[in-house]
Amino acid sequence: MLFNSWEFLILLAVTFALYYAPWSRGRHGKAWQVTLALAASVVFYGWEDPRLIVLLALSAVGNSIATARIIQHKVAGDEAKVKRWTSLAVILNLALLAGFKYLPFLAGMLPFLPASWVEALKGIPLPIGISFYTFHGISMIVDVSRGEVTREGDALLSKGGRFAKGVRDIGFYLLFFPQLVAGPIVKAKQFWPQIAAKRIEDIPWKKVVRALVAGYFLKVFVADNLAEQTVLLTIGTAELSNSGPFFLLPLLYAYSLQIFADFAGYSLIAIGLAWMFGYRFPDNFNFPYLSTSITEFWRRWHMSLSAWLRDYLYIPLGGNRKGPGRTYVNLFLVMFLGGLWHGAEWKFALWGSLHGLALAVERLLGARRGEQRDERETGEQGEARRKQERRLAGPLVGSSSPGSSLPPRVSLLKKALAWFWTFHLVTLLWLTFLMPDIAHIRAFFEGALSGRTFLSGPPVFSLLFYGTAVVLYHAWGWLKEHREAVAAKLEGSSLEPVLHGIMLFLIVTNPGAPQGFIYFQF
Amino acid sequence: MQYTLLLTLTLAACFALQSLALRTSGGKTTKSESNFFSSVARIQTGQRGQAETLLLGSSITGRLPDRSAGFAGVANLGIDGGSAADTLRALDRGLIELPPRVIVEGNTLHRAAGQEPGEVARAMESGWFAVGREIPNLGATARPSAFLYSWLMERKHGGPGSGDTAALPTGSVPRIPAKNEAPPLEGADEELAEELAAILRRLESKGCRVTMVLLPPGADADSPKRRIPLAIACRAGVRWWDLTEGLPAGTVEFTDGVHMSPESASATLTSLLAQCAR
């Protein structure tokens, strides 16, 4: 079920009305609300293909059993058993993901497998959202084993009725519909403490409206309209190599803006919906196209994935604690696996690897620059700056752009160049994300470098008409970061309802043809 | 309270501006940046009010003017990037009201061979399509992007022609082709021809006069662009007219080699109406 479908709006209205029904204020309010939201999530997930619910139920019950066992052993102080159950549960979660997502991919690479087996394995369908709820499951297991998720009465979780409640709550965490199929990836330690009875008067409506209007605007007005043009990038290698730069480059820029609008729009809708039901999700995007380095880009883009990879992969691998060489390897490895998480195809691995390489190079250059400056700076001045840098360090990889001591104008020019380079590198790398294979990427470059002057109106028009919304959105982000007082004044001013009115008007009168969310396929 | 009031006022102002723009442009925009919405817009507006003549086809047909440009009783249902197959099926199923006359562009019918119905065909059955047909402000023709795109197109290529444009100096007239003129077809082409010929027979049996036409730039004799529509016309026993037969070279102007300029499109429609109304 799509957030931009009539079925969803009906499900939402019914669930919302029942969720805050008068009896939700009683002694069993929490039980009612969690059970209802869980039931709505099951309907939401199984709407297109009810068979998928079986897999989800398996994941929920399996993770609940493991969680109960881990808590039991944790309370008993048996760390060896905690570790054993944790490893087993993480492996089983990964096996579930591997079975459905990576087995068909691997089967094609094993020459000794009979052709009929390969065919059968390749026929395994990819359950929607499996990458997201598997990561939620792992987060649950690891946070519980680390003692970061605890509740009163957890010691009794393995007994009778409490176990059933545990399954219900864990199921709710895994399945809660706003984040079920495409995130944001909410960590168990963030979500678990929020499970409680909710009251309608506690809903922060301002935040709900802001998130939903911006989210639907980005998705329905910007992304869906741009998608109609960017689909031309996948028409075929012959068509790509026979076209010219004035046709292909606007389409590439349009895709760069489309993927942002699609995913950031989805995330904002998810955040707004969660607020409606009394839950706070972490931000997933922070104006990523303002970034002046790839390191900064990953602090702003799909932040919940970056944070997940940091907590459950980068740090366990040793992070940056085992020397520079190992840090670069870890960075590359995390991004390579992060790329593969997006899809079981070499193109995603390539996309992740190139980002990993860029991160490692930036860190290397940053470290060298830092060393040179440290030689110049001494005493308190240097220490104060290093403290500042540590404070600003990002979620995955820390700081790579030490503070500048250049004059303001030179520094501004340097920043502008860094922004230009970063935006274009990110945009260029989206090619590996979008194109079906390497042959298409090659054909794109053949066309883009052909020198033909063929110009098509609709892609340029769409890029300018719909892309402007993304540019303005980022201009707003820049204002928030660099002119806080002005932004705060504007946020509460009468400009906001006027802007919301225009956005709603465009959502209703100028939507694109309904498209699925790009990240649903992952 | 202030927020709600300002929001409502803004929305009202936006819809008022849109209504004004719609009125100024004669109730419809000529083209949007999206093939899908351009087509949906034509079909939605084409179904409002009673039309005497329906023009079915692709973007080649889409460039022809209609009643909003002074050609009384003409509704243009051209599907950009598609063909007349989807609108013929919709007529057959009663999704579109049957007019006294239907002119079918044959140039692009070959595109439908072996293909599933297009996204415009699927859209015609949706609820939002019906809403847009009944409420002009929510229709595809009233999209703000369509106003801007149409304005840019008209600045570049000129506005639509008028109903008093002279006809093309065609050297041919519509005729009912003999059965043995039908070119042999195979596979998906054969299936399509059989399906569409049956539809045309049904439409004619309900009192609708159908003319299958090959519009400029026409097609070679051996091309499926000509073989398929001719085969359909022969099998259905409807009138066939290749407008390019005997047409002096250079008479018709194109903007991109395929689509006619506004003047040529008006002249073509004048010819079509003059002959097909007989």
Whole-complex ipTM: 0.83
Comparing A22 with A420, the larger pLDDT belongs to A420
Domain shared by A172 and A273, yes or no: no
Q: What is the pLDDT of residue A395?
A: 45
CA-based nearest distance A389→chain B, Å: 41
Mutation choice for A interface testing from B34, B38, B138 by most A CBs within 10 A = B34
Cβ–Cβ contacts within 10 Å for residue B190, how many? Answer: 14
Q: Which tens digit of pLDDT belongs to each residue from A43-64?
A: 998 888 888 888 888 888 888 8
Q: If contacts are CB pairs under 8 Å, which of residues 9-68 in chain B contact chain A?
A: 9-11, 13-15, 18, 33-37
Asked whether residue A68 is domain-assigned, the answer is yes
CA-based nearest distance B34→chain A, Å: 7
Asked whether residue A234 is domain-assigned, the answer is yes
SS3 A36: helix
Catalytic residues of A: 342
Highest mean pLDDT among A236-240, B45-49, B154-158: A236-240
pLDDT category at A393 given cuts 50, 70, 90 is very low
Q: What is the pLDDT of residue B161?
A: 63
A14 has a pLDDT exceeding 90: yes
Q: What is the pLDDT of residue A125?
A: 73
Q: What is the pLDDT of residue B115?
A: 87
Q: What is the rounded average pLDDT for all residues in chain A?
A: 84
Q: Which tens digit of pLDDT belongs to each residue from A99-129?
A: 888 887 777 777 777 878 777 777 777 787 8
A93 has a pLDDT exceeding 60: yes
Q: Which tens digit of pLDDT belongs to each residue from A124-153?
A: 777 878 888 888 889 889 988 888 876 545
Say whether A457 and B4 touch across the interface (CB within 8 A).
no
Say whether A506 and B144 touch across the interface (CB within 8 A).
yes
Asked whether residue A103 is domain-assigned, the answer is yes
Mutation choice for B interface testing from A207, A222, A509 by most B CBs within 10 A = A509
Gap between the terminal Cα atoms of chain B: 64
CATH architecture entry for B51-115+144-276 = 3-Layer(aba) Sandwich (3.40)
Domain shared by A211 and A188, yes or no: no
Mean predicted confidence (pLDDT) in B110-118: 88
CA-based nearest distance A474→chain B, Å: 22
CA-based nearest distance B136→chain A, Å: 10
Write the CA distances from B162 to B70, B149, B263, integer angstroms.
5, 21, 9
Q: Which tens digit of pLDDT belongs to each residue from A179-234?
A: 887 778 888 888 888 888 899 999 999 999 999 999 999 999 999 999 999 988 88
Closest-CA residue to A170 (of A146, A147, A143, A197): A143
Q: What is the pLDDT of residue A230?
A: 92
The share of chain B scoring above pLDDT 90, in percent, equals: 45
Q: What is the pLDDT of residue A461?
A: 94
A392 has a pLDDT exceeding 50: no
Say whether A501 and B3 touch across the interface (CB within 8 A).
no
Domain C-terminal end among A202, A234, A266: A202
A475 has a pLDDT exceeding 60: yes
pLDDT category at A312 given cuts 50, 70, 90 is confident
Domain shared by A45 and A93, yes or no: yes
Domain C-terminal end among A168, A202, A236: A202
Q: What is the pLDDT of residue A381?
A: 59
Asked whether residue A388 is domain-assigned, the answer is no
Asked whether residue A348 is domain-assigned, the answer is no
Say whether A458 and B10 touch across the interface (CB within 8 A).
no
A-B C-beta contacts closer than 8 Å: 71
Q: What is the pLDDT of residue A155?
A: 47
Measured CA to CA, the distance from residue A154 to residue A162 in angstroms comes to 9
pLDDT category at A433 given cuts 50, 70, 90 is confident
Measured CA to CA, the distance from residue B87 to residue B56 in angstroms comes to 7
Q: Which tens digit of pLDDT belongs to each residue from A61-75?
A: 888 888 888 888 888
Q: Which of A457, A510, A512 sits opposite B144 (nearest CB)?
A: A510
Closest-CA residue to A393 (of A382, A406, A403): A403
The share of chain B scoring above pLDDT 70, in percent, equals: 97
Domain shared by A193 and A230, yes or no: no
- Least confident segment among A267-271, B155-159, B189-193, B243-247: B155-159
pLDDT category at A406 given cuts 50, 70, 90 is low
Chain A partners within 8 Å of B14 (Cβ):
501-502, 505
A47 close to B (CB below 8 A)? no
As for how many domains chain A has, the answer is 2
Asked whether residue A366 is domain-assigned, the answer is no
Phi, psi of B146 (to 5 degrees): -70, -35
Asked whether residue A373 is domain-assigned, the answer is no
Domain shared by A170 and A129, yes or no: yes
Asked whether residue A89 is domain-assigned, the answer is yes
pLDDT category at B15 given cuts 50, 70, 90 is very high
Mean predicted confidence (pLDDT) in A447-458: 84
Domain shared by A10 and A132, yes or no: yes
A397 has a pLDDT exceeding 80: no
Say whether A461 and B33 touch across the interface (CB within 8 A).
yes
A301 has a pLDDT exceeding 50: yes
In which domain, by residue range, is A175 found? Answer: 6-202
- Determine contact, residues B174/B239, Cβ cutoff 8 Å: yes
Domain shared by A454 and A513, yes or no: yes
Domain shared by A178 and A279, yes or no: no
Domain shared by A33 and A144, yes or no: yes
Domain shared by A180 and A286, yes or no: no
Distance of CA A228 to the CA centre of its chain: 23
A334 has a pLDDT exceeding 70: yes
Domain C-terminal end among A178, A202, A226: A202
Domain shared by A193 and A218, yes or no: no
Q: What is the rounded average pLDDT for all residues in chain B?
A: 89
